[in-house]
Amino acid sequence: MSVHYQPVKCKSFLHHFDKKFLPFSWGANPYRGCEHSCPYCFARYTHEYLGYDSGTEFDNNILVKVNAAEVLEKELSRPRMKHEAVNLGSVCDPYQPAEHKFEITREVLKVFAKHKNPLFIGTKSNLILRDLNLLSEMAKSTALLVNVTRTTLDENIRRKIEPRAATTEERLEAVKQLSDAGITVGILFVPIFPYLTDDSESINGVIKAVSDAGAKNIVPGVLDLRASCRNRVLSFIEGIFPELLPKYIALYKTAYAPNEYTSKIYRAVETAQRQCGFKTFETPVHREEQQHLTCG
């Protein structure tokens, strides 16, 4: 796949979330677009705001915010920030392949570390291990949570639904090394694909594996087909798993699978978590930040 990188200068790096149910107040994206090419990605529509399509151009036209660290330094220096939590990678993976070349994420991490700013990081890449020492030091001085996406242990399915992301073993090793380094690691068990990754063996396997690797929390989510996701995912199913297309059409009368189905899946996840000894999770918060960071 040929990828075009477009250097851009951003006027602002942080954007505010007005959602009280979220455990963070701000989002940030070192890049726009994502090379991982996951057909289910909910963030694809955001590329349309930039004049690109949400299909191949989301995968192939990557905007690189070359001045992100400089802008972030100015933003975190403002009194209004007050160490409010930031989610790094709200509409992209901050450790996508572009990061090998440009290291924008590493530079902004240094700024977050300098200001001891509470941080959430979401990724499905083992490139995050490059910054293990930096993240380990950050975890000692501020609230830090790394969420690693984990969809399946079946590498054959993984290659189809996350074609350019890290492998199953690479991600599990990343969870282990991060955890061993004293960093709190959560798992985004998202999305759970009906009829592909929703059987008890698959669910139990994922939860057991991430538990053994040291994860402290799991957030599950069943696949949804909002807006442009619907046509894209159904086309993907038709092309790769054509025998499942009638089942998907029958299940997804709306953008969401029926409550009867999702409730069954979430009960299975909860049962597997109990069996693996997961405890009630609280977002890591340092004492001096307690008044600024509220767990959702």
- pLDDT per residue rounded down to tens, the chain (296 residues): 699 999 999 999 999 987 766 788 899 999 999 999 999 998 897 888 788 877 889 999 999 999 999 999 999 999 877 889 999 999 999 999 999 999 999 999 999 999 999 999 999 999 999 999 999 999 999 999 999 999 999 999 999 999 999 999 999 999 999 999 999 999 999 999 999 999 999 999 999 999 999 999 999 999 999 887 899 999 999 999 999 999 999 999 999 999 999 999 999 999 999 999 998 887 775 444 433 333 22
Q: Are strands 119-123 and 26-28 parallel, antiparallel or unpaired?
A: unpaired
pLDDT at 192: 98
Residue type for 68, please?
A
Q: Does residue 191 have a cis peptide bond before it, meaning omega lies within 30 degrees of 0? A: yes
Strand partners, 14: 28
Q: What are the residues whose beta carbons fall under 8 Å from the beta carbon of 28, sequence distance 6 or more?
A: 13, 14, 15, 68, 72, 86, 87, 88, 89, 90, 108
**Structure tokens belonging to residue 223:** 């696949």
Write down the pLDDT at residue 103: 98
Quote the pLDDT of residue 24. Answer: 86
According to the model, what pLDDT value does residue 228 have?
78
- DSSP secondary structure, 151-197, as one string: --S-HHHHHHHSTTSPPHHHHHHHHHHHHHTT-EEEEEEEEEPTTTT
**What's the confidence (pLDDT) of residue 295?**
28
- Interior CA angle at 121 toward 120 and 124, to 5°? 150
Structural domains for the chain: 4-225+258-288 (3.20.20.70), 226-257 (no CATH)
User: Looking at the chain, how many residues does it have?
Assistant: 296
Task: Tell me what pLDDT residue 290 has.
Answer: 36
Show Cβ contacts of residue 156 under 8 Å, excluding neighbours closer than 6 positions: none
pLDDT at 285: 59
Question: Which pLDDT does position 1 carry in this prediction?
Answer: 66
Cβ burial 235-253 (10 Å sphere, 16+ → b, else e): ebbeeebeebeeebeebbe
